Every structure is written in structure tokens, then in C-alpha cells.
Chains A and B, each alone.
Chain A
Amino acid sequence: MVEDKKASGLEDSKLVRKVLRGDRGAFEAIIRKYQQPMLNYVSRMVREREMALDVSQEVFLRAYASLSTYRPEYKFSTWIFRIASNFLIDHWRKKKIVAVSLDQPVENDGDECFLQVADETASVVRELELKELQASLEAAMDRLPAHLRELFVWRHVNGMSYEEMAEIKNIPVGTVKNRVFQAKEMMRVLLEESSCPV
């Protein structure tokens, strides 16, 4: 798995070099490689299908425009997801959506995730069929604060490591971990609350 990632990283650097030499086909290969993970992420952040497509397209165009600033010692996936995350921050700032901030200050991380587990009651998470659970999960995700939703999506939908997420957001790994745990707990509570008590 690690070797796969390394090989993929080398392949990315090679593609970037080709693009910088004027090979447009190499950039198309980059798009094809990253379009699915990018759309999976962006669609969960903006929700509207057309908007998700527009934002993802804009992210790739920005990546192309600043490709000469990409440094091959860093992972290309990290670089392009950072562009996407920053783009969403700008996008929401322009639209003046204050409630959903992705650049939540680090010091706001509290100890909410260190509460004692107390699951004596029956849980809808256990009772629902997988498809029902996934539908409820998508709905609950919409209600997560954007800075937590982003990390939840990266971790569970995109399968990123805590280290990768920390590099993208430029925050400590411990903070990322706390926020992911916090997001998961909030999701669980939202799911339990949104469904009829069993």
C-alpha cells in the first residue's frame, strides 16, 4: 500500500513535469485521476450537484494555473486538496456564509471527545439497514459544521490519513485527530436525534 502511494506520487511528479513542458494530455490524465476523489469531497461540502461540478472544475483550473509553484517533494494529492479547501473558504467568504467556516481556529478544540462512553440505550445506528443508514448519514453530514465535515469526509470518504489531513490544513496531527473524533461523535448524536427513538 505504501509502495502504491509512492509509485503514485512519482507518477504524479512525472505528469506535472510533462504538463510544464506543454503536454496538455498529461494534465487531462491528472484530472481523470483526481476527479472522483475531488468530486466526492466537494459534493459533500457544497451539496448542489451543479455547484459541485463548477467548484471542482475551478479547482483543477487553479491547479493548472499555479502548477509551476508545485514542489515535487510534497504529495500532489495534498497540494490539490489544499487548493480545493482554500477555494471553498474563499467561495463561502465571498458569499458571506459565516456559519460554515473551514478555517476554524485551532484553539477552539475542546475536550468534548474525551467524555465517557455511555451507550446503555438502543441505537438507530445498529437498527437501520445500510442504505437507510447511509441516507441518514448524508443528511446528518449537512448539519455538521463545515470544518468538521471536511475532515470527516477526507477521513471516511476519501480515506486520507491524519497526517495527510494535517499537512493540507497545516495544523497539528493531534488537532486533526481530535476534530475527526469530535465530528464522528457529533454525527452519531445527530443520527440518533434525527431518527425516531427506538
Chain B
Amino acid sequence: MPCLTVDRLYNYLDGALPPKDKVEVDRHLAECPACRRALEVRKRLAEAAEHLPPFAAPENFAACVMAKVPAAAVKKRRLWTIGLPAAAATVVAGLGLAFLLWGQSIVSALQKTGAAFGSYLQDALNYAAKGLKLLSLAGKIIITVSGRVLDTLQSVAEMVGPDGRAVLAGGALVIVITGGMLLRRRQFLSERTHDK
């Protein structure tokens, strides 16, 4: 067997040679002082490198880094899981409260706004493709449905009187807060499940 190549020598040191090749190299090393010396030199070099003294890190290194870490947590994903449902709940609660407090005026305001929105959509539809017509339809349906919901709420409000309205407003607020807390708890539990 000819003398070892450098890559063969390093593969031998790494223990990466197939068993048959290793036997051949062992046999050659037993016969060849030059290759034995070459092996010894590279082995010593690797050992010296592996035991190089570590960089002396200051004790407060982690604290120094933490002092520069922004106070706000990395929360990008949380906005979608908590922020949006919370925002939606707030809007619904706000509308409900406004209706209970101002009664008919808010209904008519909503209807006027809805009508204006509808006509604006109709104008825009003249220039838009067929797909946008679906949007208009959806908008009209939402307006009708919300109008009916608000009508029902109005009749309820008339039935219960001013005291009842106050009680209903308080009840709506409690429902929203409880809902928010339940949402948060659900997310917390799902995070704990992920941890396991």
C-alpha cells in the first residue's frame, strides 16, 4: 500500500474510514515510520486545538445583552390570536351600548350610513367586474340583517324601560369581559398543551 494521502489520514483520525480501509491503514502505519509521524503530528495539533483555553466571558455578559433587549416582547403572532377577537368584541359591545343608550337615533344613523355605503358601492360597481357585485349583495344583506337585529333590540329596549336598559347594558358589558377572559384562558391552555 502506498503512503497515506492527507484526506485518508484525516478520515482515519475522524474514524470515518470503512472497516476494511481502516485495517489497511493500520497495517501500513505499522510498517511506515513517516506516516506514523505524520499521523502523530496531526493528532497532536487537533488535540491542542480542542483544548484551547475558552474566551473568558464577563460574568455580566447575559445581563448586558438583556439590558439592550427591547422591553416589548416578540408578540407578532399574539396580535392575531387575541387582538382581533378583542377588537371585534369591543366594537360589538360598543354598538350594543350605543343602541341601548340612544335608541332609535343610532338605528337611523346606521341605516343612513348603510344606504350611503350601498349607493357608493353601486356607483363603484359600474366600473368593477362581476365579482364586486357579490360584495354589494353581501353588504346589503349585512345592512338588512343588522337593521332587523337592531329593530329587535329596540323593541326589547322599549319593553324593559329605562331601568331595564341600564341592566341590559351592564349585562352586555359583563358578557364581553367574561368572553375576553375565556378567550385568553383558552389560548393559555393551548400554549400549555404545546409545551408538553
For residue A133, give the distance in angstroms from its CB to the closest CB of chain B: 5
**Which listed residue, A39, A52, A138, touches B52 by the CB 8 Å rule?**
A138
In the complex, what residues of A have CB within 8 A of residue B54's CB? 36, 39-40
CA of A188 to CA of B77, assembled, Å:
51
DSSP class of B's interface residues: helix, strand, loop or mixed?
helix
> A21 with B194: in contact, given A130-B48, A181-B7 (CB under 8 Å)?
no
Are B57's CB and A68's CB within 8 A?
no
CA of A43 to CA of B61, assembled, Å:
14
CA of A19 to CA of B45, assembled, Å:
41
Q: Mark B3-17, 1 if CB is under 8 A from A, else 0.
A: 111110110000000
CA of A187 to CA of B46, assembled, Å:
10
Number of B residues near A (Cβ < 8 Å) is 46
Are B45's CB and A184's CB within 8 A?
yes
> A156 with B50: in contact, given A17-B194, A27-B66, A67-B74 (CB under 8 Å)?
yes
> A52 with B65: in contact, given A64-B74, A116-B5, A184-B46 (CB under 8 Å)?
no
CA of A43 to CA of B55, assembled, Å:
7
> A28 with B37: in contact, given A35-B61, A43-B55, A53-B58 (CB under 8 Å)?
no
Within 8 A of A (CB), among B68-92: 68-70, 73-78
Are B9's CB and A117's CB within 8 A?
yes
In the complex, what residues of B have CB within 8 A of residue A22's CB? 73-75
Within 8 A of B (CB), among A121-167: 123, 125-126, 130, 133-134, 137-138, 152, 156-157, 159
Within 8 A of A (CB), among B1-43: 2-7, 9-10, 34-35, 37-38, 40-42
For residue A129, give the distance in angstroms from its CB to the closest CB of chain B: 10
Are B61's CB and A134's CB within 8 A?
no
**Which listed residue, A39, A118, A126, touches B44 by the CB 8 Å rule?**
A126
B residues contacting A by CB (< 8 A) are 2-7, 9-10, 34-35, 37-38, 40-42, 44-46, 48-55, 57-58, 61-66, 68-70, 73-78, 191, 194-195
Contacts A52-B55, A68-B74 given; 15 further ones with Cβ under 8 A?
A17-B195, A22-B74, A27-B69, A39-B61, A60-B65, A113-B6, A114-B6, A116-B3, A117-B3, A117-B5, A120-B37, A137-B52, A152-B49, A184-B45, A187-B45
